[in-house]
Structure 1
Amino acid sequence: MADPKHLHLTAFMRPVSLHTGAWRYPGSYPDANFNLKHLISFIQKLEAAKFDAFFMADHLAVLNMPVEALKRSQTTTSFEPFTLLSALSQVTSRIGLAATASTTYDEPYHIARRFASLDHLSEGRAAWNIVTTGNPESSKNFSQDEHMQHGDRYKRAREAYDIVTGLWDSFADDAFIRDQETGTYLDPTKMHYLDHKGPEFSVRGPLNIARPVQGWPVIVQAGQSEPGRQLAAETAEAVFCSPRDINAAKELYADIKGRTKAAGRNPEHLKILPAAMFIIGDSKEDAQAKRLKLDSLVHYDSAIASLSIVLGTDASGFDPDAPLPTDLPPTNASITARQGAEKLAAAENLTVRQLAQRFGGYSGLAFVGEPGAIAEEMKTWLEEQACDGFTVVFPYLPQGLDDVTQRLVPELQSLGIFRKEYEGKTLREHLGLPRPGNRFFEKAA
C-alpha cells in the first residue's frame, strides 16, 4: 500500500498578516513587520512546528490605494526580503527561506547571485518566487514612465528564468579544488560562460559564486492567469495561488498538473500551495466571533470603498447596519465578483458594514473553526487533489501563529498527514524535490 500523502505548509510572512486590521487586534504586535526580535520568534516557532518554509512576498512601491486607506494599512511596507532572510538564516537550521524577486525590474545576474548566496548561507534552504510585478506604480521607481504590458512581462520572466538557472550552473559542483599544496583553487575546465543573447537580456556569465547547495534554489511561481499557469507548468516547483474554494482549487490543480505533464515534467515535482487564512477558536462560533472582531477593526471609510469596487456601484449611501440591498443597479464591473459578495452576505447574514470590512480586510480563502474540524477539512483538500498543502496566512500575530503551530499542527500530525520531524536538511528534501543536474557538466550531481 502506498504511503499516504503529506501536507506541505509554508508561512506567508511579508507582511506578517495580509489582513489590514491585524495590527489592531488585541494582543497583536503593531510593529511586527519591522521588529527583528518578533520575526525571529515567529520563524523559530514555525521551525519548531516543522513548517516547510517561511515565505516573503515583496512590493517595489507603496501600494496604489487612496491615502485614507493607506494611512490605516500595515500591509504595504516591510523589510527587504533578502536582508531579513539572510539574518534569519543564522538563527534557524531547517526551515526553508523563500523570497520574491521581480523579473520585471531586476537583472537576472543580480537575482542569481543573491539566491545562490542565500542558499549557501542557509546550507540549502533558499527558494525564488518568480513574479512579474503587477503594480503599475513600481515603474516610476525604476526610471520608467509606463508599466510593461502583462504578456511582455511573462515573456521577460521566461527568459530571465533560463538565464538565472543557467548562471546557477556556471560551475560544476567539484569545480573549486582549493588545493593548498599545488596552489590550484579552481579547475577552469569546470567553469561555463553562459553567453546568453536574447530579446530582453544579454548576459555573459559565469556567476561569481559556487553552484548553490541545492543545485538550484527551489522555484516558486505566483499567478493564476493563463501565462502564469503556463510559466508554472514549465518552470515552477511550488505554486502560490489564491482559489476561492475547493472546487476552484481542484480545477486549478488539475489544469497546472496537466500542463506540467504536457511540458515533459513529473507533476509530483510541482507542489500547489493555495493561500488560506486560519482563524482558530474553541468552537466554530468562537472562531467566527474572532473573525468578526478582526474584520471590525478595518476602518469603515476604506472598507466601503473596497466593497464599492467589488459591487461595481457606489455603496457609500447604503445603511451600514442593514443587510445588503437586493435591488442593486446594473454594473459593467465583474458580475462574478458581485455575485460572490451577494452570496457571502446571504450565507453569513452579514450587514453592509460587516461585508465591507470583510472585503477591506481579507476576502480570500479562510478556514474558521476549531482545530480538529479544520484539520479534517485540510485532509479533504489533500485527498481530493485540491492542493499539496497550504500557504498559511495568519489573521494576527503572535496569537494567530501560536494557534496554528500549537493547536492545528498537532491535529494534522495525529491524522498522519503532517511530519513530526524534518526528514532532511534542505528545502528540496522537505518538499520531496530532486536536486537538478548541471546542464553543462554531465557528471554533476
Structure 2
Amino acid sequence: MSRQLKLGAFLMATGHHVAAWRHPQVPANAGLDFAHYKRLAQIAEAAKFDTLFVADSVAAPTQDIASRMARSDHFEPLTLLSALSAVTEHIGLIATATTSYNEPYHVARKFASLDHLSGGRAGWNLVTSDNAAEALNFGRDEHIGHAERYSRAREFHQVVTGLWDSWEDDAFLRDKASGTYYDPSKLHVLDHVGEHFRVKGPLNVARSPQGQPVIVQAGSSETGRELAAQTAEVVFTAQTSLAGAQAFYADLKGRLAKYGRSADSLKIMPGVFVVVGQTEAEAQEKCETFQQWVEPEVGVALLGRMLGNFDLSKYPLDGPLPALPLTDSGQQSRQKLLTELAGREHLTLAELGRKIAGGRGHYSLIGTPVQIAERLQEWFEQGAADGFNVLVPHLPGGLEDFAHGVVPELQRRGLFRTEYEGRTLRQNLGLARPQNRFV
C-alpha cells in the first residue's frame, strides 16, 4: 500500500472560530453537552479519522472580554474521552495534560486507564502550559519559566513512561487454581529520584493494550523541538506556508537519529483550519459569516493570549502590533509566527486579531473539497506533513462538511484509508508497540 496521510479531528466545543458559539446551528452549551461530543466522535469515526484531540487549560478566562467568548466552561478532557470510549470503537482518543500542574503518577494512571477502557486508543498530549493564569490555581504567584517548564517536562515524561512499564505484559496471571494473582518476577519498581520528582512506583494499573499510550506534543520552539525529537510520537504544529512546514518537517525528522529513532517513529501533523463549500464563493461566504461576528476587542484579546499572555487592550486597534518581549510564560514559537505574519502583511492590531479568529495562526484553507484536497496532497507529498490536525470553524457543521466532502476526495486520490488498519491507535498510525524497558 502506498503511503497514506493521517487525520486528527481537533475538537473545541463550539468550534475553533472565536465567534462560532453565536452561529444559530451551534449548540451554545456545547462545552458541557455530552450528546454533542458523542455526535462529533461518531462523525469523525465514520469518516475514518485517526484521532479525536481535546486540548485543555486548567484556568478559566475571566477578564472582561472573556464574557464575549465561549471559552470558560468545558469538560475535563480525560473524563470526556473516557465516556467517548464507550460509544466508539476505532478512533484514537488524545487528551492534553500539563506537566506543569500535575504529578506524574496521576497522569500515568489516568492514561493507562483510558488505554484499557478504550481497548488501546489513548494518546497523551504532553504540554508545559502556555496559560500564565494556571499558576494561580496551584499555589503559585507566577507561571513556571520556559526553560524550567521543559526541564520538568523531560523528567515528567521519563517518570510516566517508566511507570507504564511497571508490569510486564503477562505479569497478571490471575490463576484461581494456584492462588497466584501476579508473577512477582514480572513486577518492576521504578524508584525514581530526580531534580523535580521522587516517585517509587509501581503503577497500580496493568500494562496497557498499546504497551504505552501514544505520546503527542505541540511545541515548536527550539527547546520544544528537541524534546519532541527525544520523546514524541506525534507532533502537532502551526505552520503558515509550505516552505515553513517543509523546513520544520526536515528539521524535526533530522533530529531523530541522535536518539536512535527512525523517521517513521514520529508523525508530524500540522494544524489546518478548513472551511468547505460546494463552490469557493460559498466557502468564503461561510467564513465571512463568522468574521462579521468578531468584535475587534475579542480578536485582540485572543491575539494577546496567543502571543504569550500579553494585555494588548492599551494599544490602539488601528495601530501596528507593538514590539513585545520574548514570552517566558507562553508559546515562543507561536509568538514568532504571529509577529512575522503581522510584519509580512502589514496588519494593524485589529486586523491581525480578526485574521487569527478562526485558525489562531494555523494554515487556513477556504474552498471546495477538490481545492482543499489538492493543498493537503501538496503538503503531504512534498515533505511538509505526515497528516493533519483538522480545525473547523463550527461544530458539528464544519466537521460534517470536511467528513462528507474532503475525506471522500482524499480517498478517491488514494491518500486516505477507507477502513481502519487495526484496533489500536498505534496500529492505525503505523507506530510500533514499545517494548517494556525492564525486559
Query: Normalized against structure 1, the TM-score is what?
Result: 0.90
| Conservation of the 8 A alpha-carbon contact between 1:305 and 1:316 | no
Identity %: 47
Equivalent residue for 1:323? none
Deviation at 1:285, TM superposition (A): 1.9
1:291-330 Cα distance to aligned partner (Å, 9 max, x none): 11111111233235667998x8977464xxxxxxxxx679
Gaps spanning 5+ residues in structure 1: where? 319-327
Equivalent residue for 1:215? 211
Equivalent residue for 2:354? 357
Deviation at 1:59, TM superposition (A): 0.1
Distance 1:330 1:410 in 2: 41
Distance 2:116 2:271 in 1: 28
Distance 1:134 1:305, change over 3 A: closer
Q: Secondary structure at the match of 2:168?
A: coil
Equivalent residue for 1:322? none
Deviation at 1:18, TM superposition (A): 2.4
Distance 2:340 2:189 in 1: 55
Match of 1:116 among 109, 112, 118: 112
Distance 1:308 1:204 in 2: 41
Distance 2:317 2:160 in 1: 52
Q: Within 5 Å, which residues of 2 pair with 1:43-442?
A: 43-63=41-61, 66-68=63-65, 70-303=66-299, 316=316, 318=318, 331-333=322-324, 337=338, 340-341=341-342, 343-344=344-345, 356-364=353-361, 365-441=363-439
Q: Secondary structure at the match of 1:4?
A: coil
Distance 2:401 2:231 in 1: 34
Distance 1:332 1:92 in 2: 47
Deviation at 1:146, TM superposition (A): 2.7
| Conservation of the 8 A alpha-carbon contact between 1:11 and 1:391 | yes
| Conservation of the 8 A alpha-carbon contact between 1:273 and 1:388 | yes
Equivalent residue for 1:35? 33
Deviation at 1:195, TM superposition (A): 0.6
| Conservation of the 8 A alpha-carbon contact between 1:19 and 1:395 | yes
Distance 1:293 1:420 in 2: 33
Equivalent residue for 1:325? none
Distance 1:4 1:277 in 2: 26
1:138-166 Cα distance to aligned partner (Å, 9 max, x none): 11111122321111111111111111111
Distance 2:337 2:101 in 1: 32
Gaps spanning 5+ residues in structure 2: where? 325-334
Q: Secondary structure at the match of 2:273?
A: strand
| Conservation of the 8 A alpha-carbon contact between 1:56 and 1:81 | yes
Q: Secondary structure at the match of 1:240?
A: strand
Q: Secondary structure at the match of 1:185?
A: strand
Distance 1:329 1:231 in 2: 34
| Conservation of the 8 A alpha-carbon contact between 1:119 and 1:212 | yes
| Conservation of the 8 A alpha-carbon contact between 1:15 and 1:76 | no
Distance 1:305 1:60, change over 3 A: closer
Distance 1:233 1:60 in 2: 26
Q: 2:426 is matched by which residue type in structure 1? A: R
Distance 1:331 1:90, change over 3 A: closer
Distance 1:343 1:313, change over 3 A: farther
Equivalent residue for 2:328? none
Distance 1:172 1:338 in 2: 49
Say which one has the larger Rg. Answer: 1
| Conservation of the 8 A alpha-carbon contact between 1:53 and 1:95 | yes
Query: Normalized against structure 2, the TM-score is what?
Result: 0.91
Q: 2:141 is matched by which residue type in structure 1? A: D
Q: 2:364 is matched by which residue type in structure 1? A: A
The root-mean-square deviation of aligned C-alpha atoms, in Å, is 2.4
Higher mean C-alpha displacement, 15-24 vs 171-180: 15-24
Q: Secondary structure at the match of 1:279?
A: strand
Q: Secondary structure at the match of 1:71?
A: helix
Deviation at 1:47, TM superposition (A): 0.4
1:178-217 Cα distance to aligned partner (Å, 9 max, x none): 1111111111111011111001111111111100110000
| Conservation of the 8 A alpha-carbon contact between 2:188 and 2:438 | yes
| Conservation of the 8 A alpha-carbon contact between 1:15 and 1:56 | no
Deviation at 1:358, TM superposition (A): 2.5
Deviation at 1:15, TM superposition (A): 3.9
Deviation at 1:13, TM superposition (A): 1.1
Distance 1:223 1:339, change over 3 A: closer
